[in-house]
Structure 1
């Protein structure tokens, strides 16, 4: 539990208490306004305690995550025995990197190039070759 008493965690604890007290105070203020005849304040009187509950929920999740992250790992179970003729099973990584595949541009099915597409590709090539140019400067 001493890991939850670092300066950063003390700031989080204090922020949680201040936010919850502020939300509950605002909720009580809205209740008094609603009792005074302001009908819309009934909705706000319900919202503010929900906000306080959300602050407590997020704080509790962060505390649990911090406690889990620094707990020692559980001891590993016994190693699986390798029997004769059994192939070793490779461990699959939990997160895999994406595979980049180089794709060739698709060729039209009938073999004829699209003239409009070719003109657009020339325009893009010109823009790439002239980085400071504006589209209106294109000579073609």
Structure 2
């Protein structure tokens, strides 16, 4: 529980209370405007409490994430250095097994690389070559406007 009383978490708690209070007050204000005849305010009267609920949802999710122990990268780095110094007595998270009793295995996501198709050797795209010539001309003539390009 001490993790939830750091300066960063105190700021999160205060921001949550302020935002939820402000959003609910704005919702009440929109209800009073809608009751006065402004029909557009009915949509806003429902929208502001939804925003307040979203703030509570994000705060709750971050709270659970921190209490679970997965949220602090500094703790993860210190645990990695400690486990590197110690002899492995249990299966590690790297091979997919649980590292210690009660802890969860690390989830590693695959890295996706977008590959650009490369033209075969000796074959050059005519549009690409023309664009490269244009860029070379712009580089050689720094004060010129694009409309001055002779090609």
Q: Which has the larger radius of gyration?
A: 1
What stretches of structure 1 of length at least 5 have no aligned partner? 80-89
Normalised by the length of structure 1, the TM-score is 0.61
Q: Go from structure 1 to structure 2 and tell me whether the alpha carbon gap of 1:77 and 1:33 turns closer, same or farther (over 3 Å shift).
A: farther
Kindly provide the CA deviation profile for residues 12-31 of structure 1, in whole angstroms up to 9, marking residues without a partner as x: 10000000011111111111
More helix per residue: 1 or 2? 2
2: CA distance, partners of 1:61 / 1:26:
24
Specify whether residues 13 and 131 from structure 1 end up closer, same or farther in structure 2 by C-alpha distance, changes over 3 A only.
same
- Contact map agreement 2:137 2:149 (CA 8 A) in 1: no
3-state SS of the aligned residue for 1:131? helix
Distance 1:36 1:95 in 2: 53
RMSD between aligned residues: 4.2
In 2, Cα distance between the equivalents of 1:101 and 1:30?
51
Higher relative contact order (CA 8 A, sep 6+): 1
Return the TM-score normalized by structure 2. 0.57
Q: Which 5+ residue runs of structure 2 have no aligned equivalent?
A: 80-87, 97-106
